[in-house]
Amino acid sequence: MEYFVHPNAKVHPSVKIGPFAVIEDNVVIGEDCVIDAHAVICSGVRMGKRNHVFPGAVIGAIPQDLKFAGEDTTVEIGDDNSLRECVTIHRGTASKGKTVIGNHNLIMAYCHVAHDCVLHDNIIMSNATQVAGEVEIDSCAVIGGGSLIHQFSHIGSYVMIQGGTKVNKDVPPCVIAAHDPISFCGINSVGLRRRGFDNEQIARIQECYKHIFMSNMNTSQAIAHIEENMPQSAERDLIVDFIKSSPRGIIKGI
């Protein structure tokens, strides 16, 4: 059983390659990666260290965007990622030029990440999640299986999204989001504790969202109230800065 590596690909000697895998031209793969059987690493992929690409995954195929005209774009993958069976990740378009996957992410079987997306670090994306173009997912988010994420959406850090959810608005940090239409379902307190947040930090996050989602104020009024009445903290600023920079608007409240 053989595999194919293009002679111009830059593959570190420590990389393990399974039978019938294909590594195309214009690819860079760092040390101690594993490319399993039947995986395809397409032109334009830049991969760091200790990544594991499981059988049948296709990384770096051209985007499913009718505006794509063959421009020179990339998929840039950091270190220590696990890309499970049949995952597909498409390279960028002229819009941003690259699709980015950070470090220590678990992308489970049959997930799709479209062109020009940015996934930060320590994300868990459960089976069959479909991510449309130019989505950004911040660090430590957990996406339940079968979720559908609309193009241009932004998902904040430390978020938990219930499986099967349709995400068509921005999801601010540290919350649980679910239902149809998607809505705020509380604070992701379990996930926050697992990531080292203490009681005081979680209380500050709860106080912010009490004003945003459980008051008679609209979002702009709630943000102004938080900035005027709550002391500055990393948690307050994380939430306020996310919402103020959201062109799509955030999910609705309870």
Residue positions annotated with a catalytic role: 115-116, 133
Q: Which whole-number Å values give the CA distances from 246 to 93, 154, 176, 185, in the listed order? A: 22, 8, 18, 20
36, 48 contact by CB (below 8 A): no
Residue positions counted in the chain: 254
* Pairwise CA distance, residues 22 & 3, whole Å: 6
Bridge partners (DSSP) listed for residue 75: 45, 99
Structure tokens at 133: 């173009």
